[in-house]
């Protein structure tokens, strides 16, 4: 027998590292341990299992050729020498190089010697200490068993009203699972002032919130939960500062925490997650770690982050497998590429959002764009809304976000940016990206090009913007020093010209140069169109004619529409 | 007035450079010239206009806000000082810095002085000198007028049978336009031995050919056309060496040639296209050129290429506009990113195909992969087929191709690779790409990761392949020294075990290690499954057990199925 490899954790990173190591070193003796009996399941598929899109939980455990990934599978197909489920690793003795384990069914304890150890201990849902969190019917989805339990309740018709706590990706996916296919009255409570906090910024988050509401999901931001109440030990409502939400089920989706106790007890270097180098070695070179339990380097900030994503766990597993076999493969770090479905929307991002970029000390600004995902004349082309975050001083691209229809168009743009982000592109580098075009799939200039053009125009002072919030405030308060100039078709402008006489005027796009005398020189001029492209061109003419205070709200009226804002 | 800028050509690059220059320098006097009266149309949309997907040709000329991009539009909305259509530029006098023009309607000639000149003269379809090419009913789509004429004939019911000459992207798009919505009996004749020659390699091209045939399009490769015959001056058939194809219409889609005569006559440096530097200046620094008429640098080969694509023309137009205004923006070169729809397929590529890479002197090899575009358990996940081309010695990624369903999933993968390709990634760099994942949009490992893993396994000798052609030959000829080992489910393997007794044996994936005695050691062993993943793992076990001649056909049986090959 070759060297002894023990892998703790058998969901994503663990099995991947075990199997890759075994393929590279068939002579090695590989042991795979997990405290659960359901292993190697597609955890990211749980919301679709709960919704019913995926009828059977075994589908989350099957290979593409329909073998269930159980103990038999890993032993016989993958050749893992020992597959120990319902087995808890309780302690690592690094001196003697043994793992102490407890077999949960028999209570038996013993030791497993290793030459190399892999920690793939995953993460545990974080549940804030809210009174009532232990009531029956309050869940956090820590594993497939919990998902099965929730689905059984749904199937038995026991759930009419659901409250989700946390509007991150999992919270929103769960909200859709409840509301869409099961028709459950669903409320999402979010501590921050927007959905998907830190991941996307308000211009796109407001769009998602509006969409959720259109789909019948109640979204409460700035929620301050006081307690969860129950009757006969069973949850009945969630009490928030400003109201109370009846609930037959409460699901916490308030993030996860890396499982680091085992590593910490063994004296390994642990910060928020287990600290590893770029070959995924811990502070003990014989011990590797990967998946949700580690810290990795964020390639935009250069700082260490915990980023618990199934895709990273799989990639890290292969890197560990290589290193176990003496191949010095590296895991260079992360850029935080993310994609999700939310009812009829695709939402994606990578790098830093504006709020995070500013908190990290960048001189960050943002540019918005919206355009059709395909040539605008191609049938059924729908709009994609994107935000680019960049640093004003060094012109570096820091992040990118998109919300589009539930096609793969959003994925396409995130794929492009997440691939290039480790190369520290500037705004100009995005303008130079070559992005394939044919009318059924794209415009001649990709939405990435267009938003990069906008960002460059901002950087060079060609385009001067005003935040929509400020523009809306001035409109609503009737600010006498501001006039709105609508450059759209007369039919589009007319209702607003009537509603805001003297303050909302119409000068059509192609007449701006000829009818400039209609536009006052002594006021702030806010230029309006649907996407801000015509408004930008109008601004160029006005600036050339000496107008000093002209402003364009980013992204145009299309954003307001998607926020559900009526002018 | 500021400097005088004259732009020759008003389809894509020309208007873009004129408008950008005017926005940056409102004081400049900008003249835009075109010999046609239909300008600034979406040429890439022509097949969809002909098919009827886009009902009206004006839709190809409209902005997203429904203004037709005509002379009025460019003058009034875009501020172009002079928009001269039906105006042919006949000569450039670089000494005196004037362009001589002829107004085609009046016959009048005059001179237009310039400080800077932009050549955006486009390209002309290349029509090989085949007898009969001048017959009535023989077309090459050189402009929107031709497209309108074809569509009128279709609408009048004059066309029952069409022959397309050339199976490049435009040929295949035209074939779909005729066959799909109009139900025309359509034949595509291609000189090379595959469709989309040079763009994609046989493994994917055969898939496209099979799909075309399933859709009722006749595809003839290796076509040697002798003549086009007619009656009363009107086309009736196309005569090829091995047969004859009746036709009411013949469309040449045999490539385009850059329009360089004007530049050449003016003494500018011209090779296959007009030679420019990376700021798109010609050999006369006062003259810029962009779009279909220029040569640019291929960032993979480092050589100069002509790549006539609308997306590049648009981007080049903006670069020229910047440079005209004194901003030293660069156009670094191209990687040849391409995407197209072909009936129910999306086809994309970037970089070099295997055949081109080898012709360019690279030690190129290829890896294939097929997997579902989304998590395999997600409803309606369909397969995407990809090929990676890399250099064996320097491990550099040279190109990437994909054929998938007509979602944006193919675009997503092309976007990722075309974005990274200028950075000269190695196979390992692709493994390190961070590509967003959620079950509705992707697998935990992207198809890019998987094909890069395969390529790396080939490079390191973990995976030993045999071309499908050779494997099929041995099967069909009954090679006594070869045995096929089918690792799939018994139900899948059974028919072939029966059909090829003794030569096609079944050892299921999870039983390879236990039942190795069934597999002969004295023969070439070809390992079979649907995607070649199980076959690869089986090969690892056999190699570990001392088998010396085991082979895996790339990509598995899924490729054969899509080629229409019956075993």
Q: Could you read off the pLDDT of B420-474 as tens digits, one per residue?
A: 999 999 999 999 999 999 999 999 999 999 999 999 999 999 999 999 999 999 9
Scanning every residue of chain B, which has its alpha carbon at the shortest distance from the alpha carbon of A21? B540
Q: Tell me the longest C-alpha to C-alpha distance in chain A.
A: 89
Scanning every residue of chain B, which has its alpha carbon at the shortest distance from the alpha carbon of A510? B77
For A61-116, the pLDDT digits (tens) are 999 999 999 999 999 999 999 999 999 999 999 999 999 999 999 999 999 999 99
pLDDT at residue number A207 = 98
Neighbouring C-beta atoms of residue A146, cutoff 10 Å: 16
Is the predicted pLDDT of residue B536 greater than 80, yes or no? yes
Average pLDDT of the residues in B264-291:
98
Which residue from A307, A382, A374, A371 is spatially nearest to A338, judged by alpha carbons? A307
Scanning every residue of chain A, which has its alpha carbon at the shortest distance from the alpha carbon of B409? A408
Burial bucket for residue B532 (CB in 10 Å: 0-12, 13-18, 19+): buried
* Closest CA–CA distance from residue A281 to any residue of chain B (Å): 17
Query: Which of B337, B421, B434 is the closest to A418 by Cβ?
Result: B434
Count of residues in chain A: 567
Q: Which residues of B touch A534 (CB under 8 A)?
A: 65
Angle between helices B409-420 and B447-459 (to 10 degrees): 50
Query: Which of B64, B375, B416 is the closest to A376 by Cβ?
Result: B64
List of residues 6+ apart from A242 with CB closer than 8 A: none
Model ipTM over 0.90:
yes
Quote the DSSP letter at residue A505: E
Burial bucket for residue B330 (CB in 10 Å: 0-12, 13-18, 19+): middle
Q: Which residues of B touch A55 (CB under 8 A)?
A: none
* Closest CA–CA distance from residue B420 to any residue of chain A (Å): 6
Q: Which residues of B touch A452 (CB under 8 A)?
A: none
Q: In which residue ranges of chain A is CATH 3.50.50.60 found? A: 4-123+257-324, 138-254, 338-459
* Closest CA–CA distance from residue B95 to any residue of chain A (Å): 33
Considering B13, B19, B44, B293, which one is annotated as catalytic? B44
Superfamily of domain B468-563: Rhodanese-like domain (3.40.250.10)
Query: Which of A65, A309, A509 is the closest to B77 by Cβ?
Result: A509
Check CB contact under 8 Å for B434 and A488: no
CA distance B161 to B183: 9
Q: Which residues of A touch B462 (CB under 8 A)?
A: 23-24
Check CB contact under 8 Å for A350 and B436: yes
Question: pLDDT category, B175, cuts 50, 70, 90?
Answer: very high
Average pLDDT of the residues in B281-302:
98
Q: What is the CATH number of domain A4-123+257-324?
A: 3.50.50.60
Q: In which residue ranges of chain A is CATH 3.40.250.10 found? A: 468-563
pLDDT at residue number B369 = 95
pLDDT at residue number A142 = 84
Which residue from B419, B433, B309, B331 is spatially nearest to A433, judged by alpha carbons? B419
Catalytic site positions of A: 44
Question: pLDDT category, B1, cuts 50, 70, 90?
Answer: low
* Closest CA–CA distance from residue A244 to any residue of chain B (Å): 33
pLDDT at residue number A1 = 67
Q: Which residues of A touch B73 (CB under 8 A)?
A: 510
CA distance B259 to B270: 10
CA distance A386 to A380: 19
Check CB contact under 8 Å for A436 and B415: yes
Average pLDDT of the residues in B196-204:
97
pLDDT at residue number B142 = 84
* Closest CA–CA distance from residue A269 to any residue of chain B (Å): 25
Scanning every residue of chain A, which has its alpha carbon at the shortest distance from the alpha carbon of B43? A439
Query: Which of A376, A417, A436 is the closest to B411 by Cβ?
Result: A436
For A223-282, the pLDDT digits (tens) are 999 999 999 999 999 999 999 999 999 999 999 999 999 999 999 999 999 999 999 999
For B86-119, the pLDDT digits (tens) are 999 999 999 999 999 999 999 999 999 999 999 9
pLDDT at residue number A213 = 98
Which residue from A529, A24, A454, A441 is spatially nearest to B338, judged by alpha carbons? A441
| Consecutive H or E run containing A542 | helix A533-544
**Active-site residue B44, yes or no?**
yes
pTM value surpassing 0.90? yes
Q: Report yes or no: B344 and B194 within 8 Å, Cβ to Cβ.
A: no
For domain A338-459, the CATH class is alpha beta
Scanning every residue of chain B, which has its alpha carbon at the shortest distance from the alpha carbon of A46? B439
Q: Which residues of B touch A48 (CB under 8 A)?
A: 378, 439-440
Check CB contact under 8 Å for B341 and A415: no
Scanning every residue of chain A, which has its alpha carbon at the shortest distance from the alpha carbon of B382? A64
Scanning every residue of chain A, which has its alpha carbon at the shortest distance from the alpha carbon of B377? A59
Tens-digit pLDDT profile for chain A (567 aa)? 689 999 999 999 999 999 999 999 999 999 999 999 999 999 999 999 999 999 999 999 999 999 999 999 999 999 999 999 999 999 999 999 999 999 999 999 999 999 999 999 999 999 999 999 999 999 998 889 999 999 999 999 999 999 999 999 999 999 999 999 899 999 999 999 999 999 999 999 999 999 999 999 999 999 999 999 999 999 999 999 999 999 999 999 999 999 999 999 999 999 999 999 999 999 999 999 999 999 999 999 999 999 999 999 999 999 999 999 999 999 999 999 999 999 999 999 999 999 999 999 999 999 999 999 999 999 989 999 999 999 999 999 999 999 999 999 999 999 999 999 999 999 999 999 999 999 999 999 999 999 999 999 999 999 999 999 999 999 999 999 999 999 999 999 999 999 999 999 999 999 999 999 999 999 999 999 999 999 999 999 999 999 999 999 999 999 999 999 999
* Closest CA–CA distance from residue B92 to any residue of chain A (Å): 30
Interface with B, mutate which of A419, A488, A531, A545 (most B CBs under 10 A): A419
Q: Which residues of B touch A513 (CB under 8 A)?
A: 76, 79
Check CB contact under 8 Å for A338 and B436: yes
For B356-411, the pLDDT digits (tens) are 999 999 999 999 999 999 999 999 899 999 999 999 999 999 999 999 999 999 99
Average pLDDT of the residues in B410-414:
98
CA distance B97 to B112: 8
Check CB contact under 8 Å for B54 and A378: yes
Query: Which of B340, B412, B513 is the closest to A411 by Cβ?
Result: B412
CA distance A353 to A30: 42
Q: Which residues of A touch B62 (CB under 8 A)?
A: 377
Average pLDDT of the residues in B486-512:
97
CA distance B421 to B398: 8
Count of residues in chain B: 567
Average predicted confidence (pLDDT) for chain B: 97
Q: Report yes or no: B357 and B434 within 8 Å, Cβ to Cβ.
A: no
Check CB contact under 8 Å for B441 and A339: yes
- CATH of B138-254, picked from 3.40.50.800, 3.50.50.60, 3.40.50.620, 1.10.1200.10, is 3.50.50.60
**Strand A98-103 relative to strand A87-93: parallel, antiparallel, unpaired?**
antiparallel
CA distance A101 to A151: 32
């Amino acid at each position: 027998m070759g060297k002894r490899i023990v892998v703790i954790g058998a969901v994503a990173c663990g099995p991947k590292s075990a199997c890759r190591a075994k393929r590279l070193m068939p002579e090695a003796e590989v042991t795979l341990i997990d405290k659960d009996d359901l292993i190697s399941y597609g955890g990211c598929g749980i919301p679709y299992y709960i919704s019913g899109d995926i009828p059977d939980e075994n589908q989350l455990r099957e290979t593409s050729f329909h073998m269930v990934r159980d103990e038999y599978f890993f032993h016989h197909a993958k050749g893992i020498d020992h597959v120990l489920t319902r087995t808890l690793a309780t302690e690592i003795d690094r001196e003697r190089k043994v793992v102490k384990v407890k077999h949960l069914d028999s209570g038996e304890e013993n030791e497993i010697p290793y030459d190399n150890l892999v920690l793939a201990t995953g993460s545990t849902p974080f549940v804030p200490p809210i009174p009532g969190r232990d009531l029956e019917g309050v869940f956090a989805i820590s594993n497939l068993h919990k998902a099965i339990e929730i689905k059984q309740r749904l199937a038995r018709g026991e759930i009419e009203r659901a409250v989700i706590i946390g509007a991150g990706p999992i919270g929103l996916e769960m909200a859709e699972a409840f509301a869409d296919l099961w028709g459950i009255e669903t409320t999402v409570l979010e501590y921050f002032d927007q959905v998907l906090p830190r991941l996307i910024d308000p211009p796109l988050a407001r769009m998602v919130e509006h969409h959720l509401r259109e789909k019948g999901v109640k979204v409460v931001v700035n929620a301050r939960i006081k307690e969860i109440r129950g009757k006969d030990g069973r949850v009945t409502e969630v009490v928030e500062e400003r109201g109370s939400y009846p609930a037959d089920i409460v699901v916490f989706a308030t993030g996860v925490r890396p499982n680091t106790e085992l590593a910490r007890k063994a004296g390994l270097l642990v910060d928020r997650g287990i600290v590893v180098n770029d070959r995924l070695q811990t502070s003990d070179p014989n011990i590797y770690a990967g998946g949700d339990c580690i810290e990795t380097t964020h390639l935009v900030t250069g700082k260490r982050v915990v980023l618990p994503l199934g895709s990273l766990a799989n990639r890290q597993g292969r890197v560990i497998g290589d290193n176990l076999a003496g191949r010095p493969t590296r895991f260079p770090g992360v850029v935080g590429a993310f994609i999700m479905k939310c009812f009829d929307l695709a939402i994606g991002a990578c790098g830093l959002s504006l709020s995070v970029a500013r908190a990290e000390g960048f001189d960050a600004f943002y540019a918005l764009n919206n355009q059709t995902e395909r040539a605008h004349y191609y049938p059924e082309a729908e709009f994609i809304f994107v935000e680019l975050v960049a640093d004003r001083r060094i012109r570096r691209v820091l992040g990118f976000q998109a919300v589009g229809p539930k096609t793969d168009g959003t994925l396409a743009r995130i794929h492009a940016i997440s691939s290039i982000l480790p190369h520290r592109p500037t705004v100009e580098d995005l303008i130079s990206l070559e992005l394939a075009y044919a009318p059924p799939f794209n415009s001649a200039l990709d939405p990435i090009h267009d938003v990069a053009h906008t960002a460059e125009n901002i950087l060079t002072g060609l385009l001067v913007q005003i935040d929509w919030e400020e523009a809306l405030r001035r409109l609503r308060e009737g600010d006498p020093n501001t006039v709105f100039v609508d450059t759209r078709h007369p039919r589009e402008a007319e209702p607003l010209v009537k509603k805001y006489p003297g303050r909302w005027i119409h000068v059509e796009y192609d007449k701006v140069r000829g009818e400039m005398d209609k536009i006052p020189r002594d006021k702030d001029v806010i230029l309006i169109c649907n996407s801000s492209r015509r408004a930008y061109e109008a601004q160029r003419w006005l600036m050339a004619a000496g107008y000093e205070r002209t402003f364009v709200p980013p992204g145009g009226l299309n954003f307001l529409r998607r926020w559900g804002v009526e002018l």
